[in-house]
Chains A and B, each alone.
Chain A
Amino acid sequence: QVQLQQSGPGLVKPSQTLSLTCAISGDSVSSNSAAWNWIRQSPSRGLEWLGRTYYRSKWYNDYAVSVKSRITIKADTSKNQFSLQLNSVTPEDTAVYYCARDQNWDFLHWGQGTLVTVSS
């Protein structure tokens, strides 16, 4: 049974870096058939796919155009987890952030969601 457990602060100051982690159980972050995604949701922007990391003999990343200049998604194989870093945040980055696994085009497993508020 795959489970994704998110952790990270719920409050970030403007211009600082948002950092979240998604711990994986029941699968490996190095799986050759899965991709590990970050998605966010806000009333103003709806659901927004932010990016992913995946391993196919080497590591790959894809990012949404809207955040490409500010985002980094990394896998940590020693802890079987992956992380999101979003730089230079503004109040517009306030949202519920989710991690999710995509395997064979199926986004079946999601984390519990983390509300991140950007405010001073």
Chain B
Amino acid sequence: DSGVTQTPKHLITATGQRVTLRCSPRSGDLSVYWYQQSLDQGLQFLIQYYNGEERAKGNILERFSAQQFPDLHSELNLSSLELGDSALYFCASSVGPTGGEQYFGPGTRLTVT
């Protein structure tokens, strides 16, 4: 158990809908990272927050957004969902702001039908 929690574990929704994925980092970690993992793309970095502020942005679509709250948990919002958004979404956390040793949560499996 990495200490990072993610909810929900599974999510099934229709195209055009909006969903919110939630992540709680390890105790003491200030950075939260979001990744998308699809069968043919591997792990793709989406966005990082450090102590409430956006720190780095990767291949995140404009339809996606995230935020980190004062209690350091983070939410990833996915809107106008398309079939191609079906994937595993992982959250990871680390102590500091650099992209070093990260601890991953169990992931949320999103299926868009």
Judge: A and B partners, yes or no.
Answer: no
B interface, CB within 8 angstroms of A: none
